[in-house]
Structure 1
Amino acid sequence: MHKTKSWIFLFIAIISEVIATLSLKISSGAVWGYITMGFFIVISYYFMALCVRIIPIGTAYAIWEAFGLSLIAIVGIIVFGEKITLYQEIGIVLGVIGIVLINLGEKK
């Protein structure tokens, strides 16, 4: 498998996780929200499994979690009018910095 394809799979995994998480907020706990969440979590894990064939698991997981968290926070702010604290902002920034450092430290 080509490395570019693995990064596309990771992107799909991240977006699927975000959709799964947001479906719970949007559905307000309705059954269809759980079904949607389950479907997209399965998709997310499937594509995560494909991407870790090439991308180291630590790198893939760090990116998956940090970018997923960041996207969910951004959507929460923009769509749902949620507020985040300074500590949460710092946490997101530190997560992104961590991803950069993990990628820089990856053996080629």
Structure 2
Amino acid sequence: MPPSLALALAIAFEVIATATLKVAEGFTRIVPSVVVVVGYAAAFYFLSLALRTIPVGVAYAIWSGIGVVLVSITGWILYGQKLDAAALLGMVIIIAGVLVINLLSRSTGH
């Protein structure tokens, strides 16, 4: 599996798990709780595959940066959470940072 695909899957599972935490209601609802646990387990599994090639600092920067943006967008869409101008600007900066790492850095392992 290409490391970029493994990292993308890690991010996707982490976002699903994090977004589901809200409806798990402190792990009192069984189905959402299972989604959270399985989602995080899958996220770490795929992250471990990505780390075979991508340096841990770079992988984590990409994972956490994209994850923050996607979880924020998910919260806005699913839960009606507000995103003000400062939050949106911060997300643009995060995305720019991820692009710089992926497009310009020689330490990404690709």
Query: When the two structures are superposed, what TM-score results if normalisation uses the length of structure 1?
Result: 0.84
Q: What does residue 54 of structure 1 align with?
A: 53
Aligned equivalents of 1:99 and 1:8: distance in 2? 16
Which string of whole-angstrom CA distances, capped at 9 and with x for unpartnered residues, describes residues 14-59 of structure 1?
Answer: 0110111111112333242333212211110110010111122222
Q: How far apart, CA to CA, are the structure 1 residues paired with 2:9 and 2:92? A: 22
Aligned residues: 105
Amino acid of the structure 2 residue aligned with 1:34: S
Structure 2 residues not aligned, in runs of 5+: none
Asked if the contact 1:52–1:60 (Cα under 8 Å) also holds between the matched residues in 2, the reply is yes
**In 2, Cα distance between equivalents of 1:78 and 1:22:** 11
Q: Give the TM-score of the pair, scaled to structure 2.
A: 0.83
Higher helix residue share: 1
Counterpart position of 1:27: 24
Assess if the C-alpha contact under 8 Å between 1:7 and 1:51 holds in 2: yes
Residue 15 of structure 1 is matched in structure 2 by 12
Distance 2:22 2:5 in 1: 26
Percentage of identical aligned residues: 34
Q: Unaligned 5+ residue runs, structure 1?
A: none
> C-alpha distance in 2, partners of 1:55/1:91?
25
- Map of 1:63 onto structure 2: 62
- Shifted more, 98-107 versus 37-46: the winner is 98-107
Q: Measure the CA separation in 1 of the matches of 2:85 and 2:106.
A: 30
Alignment RMSD (CA, Å): 1.8
Q: Partners in 2 of 1:27 and 1:37 — Cα distance? A: 8
